[in-house]
Structure 1
Amino acid sequence: MKKIYLDYNASTPLAPEVVEVMQPLLNDYYGNPSALHWAGKPVKAVLHKARKQVAELLNCSFGEIIFTSGGSEANNLALKGSYIKNLHKGNHIITTKIEHPAIINPCKFLEKIGAVVTYVGVDQYGRVSPEEIEKAITKDTILITIMHSNNETGTLQPIQEIGSIANRHGITFHTDASQSIGKVPVNVNELKVDMLTIAGHKLYAPKGIGALFVRKGVELEPLIHGAGHEHGLRAGTENTLLAVGLGAACEIARTQLDNNKQKDLTNYFWKQLKDELGDQVVLNGHPQERLPNTLNVSFVRKIGQELLDTIPQLAASTGSACHAGSIELSPVLKEMKVPEEVGMGAIRFSLGRYTTKDEIDSVLKAFKEILKP
């Protein structure tokens, strides 16, 4: 079997169109975008275009986009920046037990300096209840942060309903949409969010670039202090090369959201596995409300990593890439109350723009071989 990549939720290859747009900036456009002379003005122009492309994907103003070094920095800016700036209002944060470490760990840090964090549980499908979020609100609640979709199971959260609750209570609402951007429509106004995180390398853009949508009027304390770059929220000369790559990737995503290829291939993959293996294979996550490219399945009474080790040509994951190499039950699956004999066999297959049916058929054939009696 040839090498097959089914780990697009961990990272995506650069889109050829993104490489093409970035190429001129390796030789030209070397001026500082803040400079007012001939070398700086064209750099400022391409940076402005990139910011506008990101904003158009989210349906927001270009002035509400802050470029960061990636999703983790964007999450840290959202959480730490909001907490520090609004400490005079309260110290309570609400999140879920299944967030990515880029949310959980900043919350743990903030707890060390006085924050009170409520970690709300999820149901068997990995979805949080909006009612439980509302019950957790106190007079000191200043921030709610809930991921848009889970990186392991692909389960989509009821962000719009939670946004309505947050708005009604006057609480700032953030969502980490790193996994969702480019896979499902993400409109910050429809979702009723005040801040939203993007990670470039999940979107066929380079690693090392991301963005945070910050709605006009939301106040944050910068993580990095210095000059007034990024509307005063992220000091440091902008990484124009990578920002242009992210902008191009967002432009592509905006025009390809109606493509059902990944959803059809994922459904085909699951149907073939279920037809062949029956009760030996179990779907983890919501059967409908999940990302169209993500298939997290458990091979009952097997160990997922051991199965993958027998197919070295296949790149897939036993959970989040951040947990790669661990054979312990995923914290996400634990919170979903997945039995250990089921959860230990979990493998996340995440398809992408370049996945083909022939590749899926090759993977199906390989699994049939290693699982046959």
Structure 2
Amino acid sequence: MNSIYFDHAATTAMHPDVLNVYVEAVRSGPGNPSSLHAHGRAARERISQARDSLASLLHCEASELIFTGSGTESDNSALFGAALAQKKRGRNGIVTTAIEHHAVLHACRQLESQGFSLTVLPVDEFGRVSLEDAKLAINDTTAIVSIMAGNNETGTLQPFAEIGELARKHKALMHVDAVQAFGYLPFNLKELPIDFLSLSAHKINGPQGVGLLYVRKGTPFQPILHGGSQERNRRAGTENVAGIVAFAKAAMIACGQLQSRWDHAEDIRITVLERLSELFGPEQFVINGHLEDRLPHILNISFTGISAESMLMNLDLAGVSASGGSACNSGSLKPSHVLSAMKFSSERVSSAVRFSFGLGNTREEADKLAKITATISARLRIN
């Protein structure tokens, strides 16, 4: 059975060129970047080159980039690092939204339990936060504002730049989780009002286990990992040399093909929707998320009257990999906190399936997905 992978928002396969770079780095021999001998110096040089490449893509200084172990670590490092540093300056407010990734929401809740004041902004029925709500929430006591660029379940884009300007007016720090948006949107950190930016390699056809955190020069920041002096004393732990080199290669490929990546994902998305409309009829499903201000590779659909669990199980049996939402919740039967925050009915939330597209997907696969989904839907509705 030929499988169809439509879960790229969860993780992506390594690009062939990235895999080659990764293998080459592994084969180059042992090398701890902190060691002073030749092997250590060679490893350190590979990391420096990767950091320079990423800094060029993000339009920032290489010294402003910290390599981490994941997007989650980057989010946690930004939030705890900024909040604890800002507390020393008399600021204890944290502002975020109800549709953030759990790496942000759970970190914010933990900070709240430590005495910080947390404001969670609501979103509208499209999953988009209001600038007016943000304006009312951000004040001179706010330590950090955390807003994702694009949602990992619905693809809805947030007005993070505009909110960043609001934060800057009150001298609050601005964190953006760009894990899903990087590779589809350009990020010029010299111009954007962002103090922290979180990225992850495995969302852009790089390896798993590598993340990146941008920290603007001069930004108050307190490390959350303590040990060695790696990453300029900002993140202890031996660096993942091969992963970092491969991350840089994946980013170079993705950022060099922003428009073609967008167009390809959009083409697959449109094909899926057109074929579903032909086979289902518009009353059989509904799209969750903003129809225009969105990322192209994420399509969240509620199939009326069919539980997501049943649909996903049958899709899997038919060789289609999709998701019920965030990959971190894939083993959970809890309803999506993102769709719940959008004030949908319990039926709409419980019937939502996320398809996400990327490297290797074709129109033929999109057409096949629609046919398989229609067959499953007809069978489940009869039963």
Asked if Structure 1 and Structure 2 have the same fold, meaning a TM-score greater than 0.5 normalized by the shorter chain, the answer is yes
Counterpart CA distance in 2 for 1:41 and 1:323 is 41
Aligned to 1:282: 286
Secondary structure of 1:44's counterpart equals: helix
Shift of 1:152: 0.3
Identity %: 39
Shift of 1:84: 1.1
Secondary structure of 2:259's counterpart equals: coil
Q: Unaligned 5+ residue runs, structure 1?
A: none
Aligned to 1:55: 55
Aligned to 2:274: 271
Aligned to 1:367: 373
Secondary structure of 1:138's counterpart equals: coil
CA contact 1:295–1:348 (8 Å) conserved in 2: yes
1:9 pairs with 2:9: yes
Aligned to 2:337: 331
Identify if the C-alpha distance between structure 1 residues 29 and 43 changes in structure 2 by more than 3 Å, giving closer, same or farther: farther
Per-residue CA deviations over 1:245-273 (Å, capped at 9, x if unaligned) read 11111111111101011111112212222
Shift of 1:275: 3.5
Aligned to 1:215: 216
Aligned to 1:354: 360
RMSD, aligned α-carbons: 1.5
Per-residue CA deviations over 1:187-246 (Å, capped at 9, x if unaligned) read 324432110000111111111110001111112111111232112201122221111111
Alignment match of 1:299 (pick from 296, 300, 303): 303
Aligned to 2:99: 98
Shift of 1:309: 1.4
CA contact 2:288–2:302 (8 Å) conserved in 1: yes
Aligned to 2:134: 133
Counterpart CA distance in 2 for 1:25 and 1:265 is 34
CA contact 1:29–1:42 (8 Å) conserved in 2: no
Secondary structure of 1:73's counterpart equals: helix
Counterpart CA distance in 2 for 1:65 and 1:135 is 32
Counterpart CA distance in 2 for 1:284 and 1:188 is 30
Aligned to 2:349: 343
Aligned to 1:225: 226
Counterpart CA distance in 1 for 2:344 and 2:277 is 18
CA contact 1:180–1:186 (8 Å) conserved in 2: no
Per-residue CA deviations over 1:138-166 (Å, capped at 9, x if unaligned) read 33211000111111001010111111111
Aligned to 1:23: 23
Shift of 1:321: 1.3
What are the within-5 Å matches in structure 2 for residues 10-89 of structure 1?
A: 10-89=10-89
Mean CA deviation greater in 51-60 or 173-182: 51-60
Q: Match of 1:266, as an amino acid? A: R
Q: Match of 2:156, as an amino acid? A: T
Q: Match of 2:356, as an amino acid? A: S
CA contact 1:327–1:344 (8 Å) conserved in 2: no
Shift of 1:305: 1.7
Secondary structure of 1:213's counterpart equals: strand
TM-score for both structures, normalised by structure 2: 0.94
* Equivalent residue pairs, number: 373
Aligned to 1:114: 115
Counterpart CA distance in 2 for 1:121 and 1:2 is 42
Secondary structure of 1:72's counterpart equals: helix
Secondary structure of 2:148's counterpart equals: coil
Shift of 1:327: 4.0
Per-residue CA deviations over 1:279-328 (Å, capped at 9, x if unaligned) read 11101000011111110011112111201212221110011112214444
Aligned to 1:309: 313
Alignment match of 2:327 (pick from 321, 346, 359): 321
Counterpart CA distance in 1 for 2:267 and 2:59 is 27
Alignment match of 2:264 (pick from 254, 261, 264): 261
Aligned to 2:171: 170
TM-score for both structures, normalised by structure 1: 0.96
Mean CA deviation greater in 105-114 or 22-31: 22-31
CA contact 1:98–1:335 (8 Å) conserved in 2: yes
Secondary structure of 1:191's counterpart equals: coil
Q: Match of 1:276, as an amino acid? A: L
Identify if the C-alpha distance between structure 1 residues 368 and 189 changes in structure 2 by more than 3 Å, giving closer, same or farther: same
Secondary structure of 1:310's counterpart equals: helix
Shift of 1:104: 0.8
Secondary structure of 1:272's counterpart equals: helix
Identify if the C-alpha distance between structure 1 residues 178 and 136 changes in structure 2 by more than 3 Å, giving closer, same or farther: same
Mean CA deviation greater in 45-54 or 265-274: 265-274
Shift of 1:29: 4.5
